[in-house]
Amino acid sequence: MRYPPGARRVERPASAKPCATCGELTGRGYPNCLRCAEVVDELWLADWLDLLTTERVSAGTEGERELADRVLSEPPGTFPWTCTDWALRLLRCTECGGELGAGDPVCLECAAADASRWEWDDAAVPARMTQPEHAIRHAVTTLRAPHRHRAAVVSTWRLALPFLLAGDDVPAADLRHVRHAVLAGRYPDLAEQDTVVDLVNLRLLPWPSRVS
Ligand SMILES: [Zn+2]
Ligand SMILES: [Zn+2]
């Protein structure tokens, strides 16, 4: 099957809940909070471990590295998108030494690896990949390489990730609204919203009243 689905092996939480380790909504501490990282990465890892089983390859071996190479050299849609991402994580960029596709912002090899990652989504949304799956991939890719993105974009994905993790959709227009609120200095208020509806509807007004 071309474009096999990704991130559907693990049951999602019904709603965004605080992380027992960092106290923020689960996912928001990604990737520095170990618990947030575990919950998020589980979606990717389940697909990768399934691929290892199918290919009779053991984790942590040279065979796993070779499999990662092969996943990236096949045409997009041969493996789940989650496996493409995991393969990138397992490999180092030969030019900048960073995680492949997530290294130095000016590294051409990373730029090429990151661009080819998105060919999957271009062909697969919405038939083989849902919009929320595309969004969660964007969120996690951005949070893994914050130095490659503008700060407001990173913050926006950080705010959205717990809700995406719970299966909520956060359409582009809503993400734009959140980004504008971040740029207006409202991150602390945004981070206090417990539901995606509250997050995307946070009113930019009223401004704190000025004493004249
Ligand atoms: Zn956490
Ligand atoms: Zn690089």
Among all bound ligands, the one having the nearest atom to the CA of 114 is 2
State the burial class of residue 173 (Cβ atoms within 10 Å of its Cβ: 0-12, 13-18, 19+): exposed
Question: Around ion ligand 1, which residues have CB less than 5 A away?
Answer: 19, 21-22, 29, 33, 35-36
Backbone angles phi, psi at 92, to 5 degrees: -100, 145
Tens digits of pLDDT across the chain (212 residues): 899 999 999 999 999 999 999 999 999 999 999 999 999 999 999 999 999 999 999 999 999 999 999 999 999 999 999 999 999 999 999 999 999 999 999 999 999 999 999 999 999 999 999 999 999 999 999 999 999 999 999 999 999 999 999 999 999 999 999 999 999 999 999 999 999 999 999 876 655 555 54
Question: Ligand 2 mean position to 67 CA, how many Å?
Answer: 20
Model confidence pLDDT, tens digit, residues 105-116: 999 999 999 999
Distance 5 CA to ligand 1 centre (A): 27
Could you tell me the distance, in angstroms and rounded to a whole number, from the CA of residue 13 to the centre of ligand 1? 14
Look at residue 208 in the predicted model and tell me its pLDDT: 57
pLDDT of the residue at 203: 76
pLDDT tens, position by position, 166-178: 999 999 999 999 9
Phi, psi of 25, deg, nearest 5? -60, 135
Going from the Cα of 116 to the center of ligand 2, the distance in angstroms, rounded, reads: 14
Confirm if 88 and 72 have CB atoms less than 8 A apart. yes
User: How many whole angstroms from 18 Cα to the centroid of ligand 1?
Assistant: 8
Looking at all shown ligands, the one closest to residue 161's CA atom is 1
